[in-house]
C-alpha cells in the first residue's frame, strides 16, 4: 500500500520529524538534538527537555515537510511516539500530532518508541535513495519469526517477533540499560557527554584485555541483562579502591591520573565485555526459541547502541556463523529519530489500526 506519513518524536532529548514513503523510503529525517542543553547536568533534565521540544517542534516539522518536498495535504497520516518516555516531552509531541491530524482531517497513529527502534532497520537512508533505486535495491525485507534486540539509553530488551507489530518481551535489563552504562562509563573515563559514541571511539584506539571485566549472565537460562557490576568494575579500575562510606567516599585517583593509552585500553575492555554479553544472550535466546519450536529466521537490532562499531561487527559475524540474516539500522536511524515512528505507523495503517484524539501518552511500558 502506498503511503506518505509524517512522524513526530519527542520522547526524550531529540526533537524529530520525518516523512516516510511506503514505510521504507526516508524522504526527510530532521532531528534537533538537545545534547548541548543537558550536557552541564550530565543527564537529561525533564523540564528543560519539554520546554525545548515546545520551542523546536514546529520548525523541525516545517524542515521535514520542506525537505521531503511534500505538502501537508498530501500526507496520508500523522504518527507520533506516544510511549514510553518523559511524560512532559511526550505530551508536546502528542499534542502537536493531534492538532495536525485534526486540522488536516488525517488519521492519527500512536507508536511505541521501543518497538519503532526495531523497525529502523527496514528503512532506507536518504543517501541510499538519492538515485531513486527500485524497491529491490533498498527494501530490507525481514523474515519472521525474528529475534529482536533493542539496545538504547533506556532499554536493553530481547523480543520474540512474529511481525513488526507483534512481539513478546523475553528478556530485559534488571538494572542499567546498556546505553546508560555507556554514558556512565564515559563520565568515569572522562570521555564527555553524550557518552556512547565517545567511548566507542576511545575503545577503537585501545587494546582489550579479554577477562578484565565481569560479564554478568545471571541465571543459566536467563535472558535478562545486568550491567551495573560491569560499570562498578570500570569505576574501580579507573579510580582505585574506595575509601570511606556513603557521602564521604573518596577514591585513590581519577581518569586524569591515567594516560590516554590506559583509558583507551579500559574502554576497549569495557566495550568487549558489553558486546560479548549481548551476543551470548542472543545465542541463548536463539537456542530457547528453537527448543520451543519457533526458531528465528532473522535477528533485528535497534536503538542508539546499535551504532556501536564492535557490536555491529560481532552481530554480523554471529549472523554468518548462525546462518541468520542480521538487520542493523543505518547509522542515521540508530539513535532517536522520527523516521522509525513514521515507518512503523505504515505497518499499523496497513493493518487497519488507527487512533483517535483521545490517544494517551504513557511514561512507562515496562512489560511491553
**Residues of this chain that bind ligand KG4 (CB under 6 A):** 12, 152-154, 179-180, 182-183, 194-197, 200, 303-305, 307-308, 335-336
CB of 215 to Zn ion, least distance (A): 24
Query: b/e for 96-131, b at 16 or more Cβ within 10 A?
Result: bbbebbeeeebbbbbbbbbbbbbbbbbbbbbeebee
Q: Which window, 82-90, 146-154, 212-220, 231-239, contacts Zn ion (CB under 5 A)?
A: 146-154
What is the number of alpha carbons within 13 Å of residue 222 lying toward its C-beta? 12
CB of 49 closer than 8 Å to CB of 12: yes
Which stretch, 71-79, 128-136, 247-255, 329-337, contacts Zn ion (CB under 5 A)?
Answer: 329-337
Cα–Cα distances (Å) from 113 to 1, 71, 208, 280, in that order, read 23, 26, 34, 25
Closest distance between Zn ion and the C-beta of residue 168, in Å? 20
d(CA 355, CA 106): 11
Sign of CA dihedral 258, 261, 264, 266: negative
Cβ-count burial of 229 within 10 angstroms (0-12 exposed, 13-18 middle, 19+ buried)? middle
Nearer to ligand KG4, 182 or 225 (CB): 182
202 binds, among Zn ion, ligand KG4, none (CB under 5 to 8 A by kind): none
Using CB distances below 5 to 8 A depending on partner kind, what does residue 206 bind out of ligand KG4, Zn ion, none? none
Q: How far is the CB of 117 from Zn ion (least distance, A)?
A: 6
* Binding of residue 269 to Zn ion (CB under 5 A): no
Rg (CA), the chain: 21
Q: Compute the least distance from the CB of residue 240 to ligand KG4, in Å.
A: 25
| C-alpha triplet 141, 26, 165: angle, nearest 5° | 45
* Smallest gap from residue 115 Cβ to ligand KG4 (A): 12
28 or 308: CB nearest ligand KG4: 308
| Minimum distance of Zn ion from residue 251's CB (angstroms) | 32
152 forms part of the interface with Zn ion (CB under 5 A): yes
Query: What minimum distance in Å lies between the beta carbon of 82 and Zn ion?
Result: 14
Which is nearer to ligand KG4, 109 or 275 (by Cβ)?
275
> Which H or E run contains 19?
strand 14-21
Beta bridge partners of 299: 147, 326
Grid cell of 273 as nine digits: 565485555
d(CA 152, CA 158): 12
Query: Of these partners, ligand KG4, Zn ion, none, which one is at the site of residue 183 (CB under 5 to 8 Å by kind)?
Result: ligand KG4
Cβ atoms within 10 Å of 133's Cβ, excluding its own: 13
Residue 112 contact among Zn ion, ligand KG4, none, beta carbon within 5 to 8 Å by kind: none
- Residue 122 interaction partner, one of ligand KG4, Zn ion, none, beta carbon < 5-8 Å per kind: none
Number of residues counted as binding Zn ion (CB under 5 A): 2
* Binding segment (CB under 5 A) for Zn ion, from list 54-62, 144-152, 228-236, 268-276: 144-152
Binding site for Zn ion (CB under 5 A): 152, 336
Amino acid at each position: 500500500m502506498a503511503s506518505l506519513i509524517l512522524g513526530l518524536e519527542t520522547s526524550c532529548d531529540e526533537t524529530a520529524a520525518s516523512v516516510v514513503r511506503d514505510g521504507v523510503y526516508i524522504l526527510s529525517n530532521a532531528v534537533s538534538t538537545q545534547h548541548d542543553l543537558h550536557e552541564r547536568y550530565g543527564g537529561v533534565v525533564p523540564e528543560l527537555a519539554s520546554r525545548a521540544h515546545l520551542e523546536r517542534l514546529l520548525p523541525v516539522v516545517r524542515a521535514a515537510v520542506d525537505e521531503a518536498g511534500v505538502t501537508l495535504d498530501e500526507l496520508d497520516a500523522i504518527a507520533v511516539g506516544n510511549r514510553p518516555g518523559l511524560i512532559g516531552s511526550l505530551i508536546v509531541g502528542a499534542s502537536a500530532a493531534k492538532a495536525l491530524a485534526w486540522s488536516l482531517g488525517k488519521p492519527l497513529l500512536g507508536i511505541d518508541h521501543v518497538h519503532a527502534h526495531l523497525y529502523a532497520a527496514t528503512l532506507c537512508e536518504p543517501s541510499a535513495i538519492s538515485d531513486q533505486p527500485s524497491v529491490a535495491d533498498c527494501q530490507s525485507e525481514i523474515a519472521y519469526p525474528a529475534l529482536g534486540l533493542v539496545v538504547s539509553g533506556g532499554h536493553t530488551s530481547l523480543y520474540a517477533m512474529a511481525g513488526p507489530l507483534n512481539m513478546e518481551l523475553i528478556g530485559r535489563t534488571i538494572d542499567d540499560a546498556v546505553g546508560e552504562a555507556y554514558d556512565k562509563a564515559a563520565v568515569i573515563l572522562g570521555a564527555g557527554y553524550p557518552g556512547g559514541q565517545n567511548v566507542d571511539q576511545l575503545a577503537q584506539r585501545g587494546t582489550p584485555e579479554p577477562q578484565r571485566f565481569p560479564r554478568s549472565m545471571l541465571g543459566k537460562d536467563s535472558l535478562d541483562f545486568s550491567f551495573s557490576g560491569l560499570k562498578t568494575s570500570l569505576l574501580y579500575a579507573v579510580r582505585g579502591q574506595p575509601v570511606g562510606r556513603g557521602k564521604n567516599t573518596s577514591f585513590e585517583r581519577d581518569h586524569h591520573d591515567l594516560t590516554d593509552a590506559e583509558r583507551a585500553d579500559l574502554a576497549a575492555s569495557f566495550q568487549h565485555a558489553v558486546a560479548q554479553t549481548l551476543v551470548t544472550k542472543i545465542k541463548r535466546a536463539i537456542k530457547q526459541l528453537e527448543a520451543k519450536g519457533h526458531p528465528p529466521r532473522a535477528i533485528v537490532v535497534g536503538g542508539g547502541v546499535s551504532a556501536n562499531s564492535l557490536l555491529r561487527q560481532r552481530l554480523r559475524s554471529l549472523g554468518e556463523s548462525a546462518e541468520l540474516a542480521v538487520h542493523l539500522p543505518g547509522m542515521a536511524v540508530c539513535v532517536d529519530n522520527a523516521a522509525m515512528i513514521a515507518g512503523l505507523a505504515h505497518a499499523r495503517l496497513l493493518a487497519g489500526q488507527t487512533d483517535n484524539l483521545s490517544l494517551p501518552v504513557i511514561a512507562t511500558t515496562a512489560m511491553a
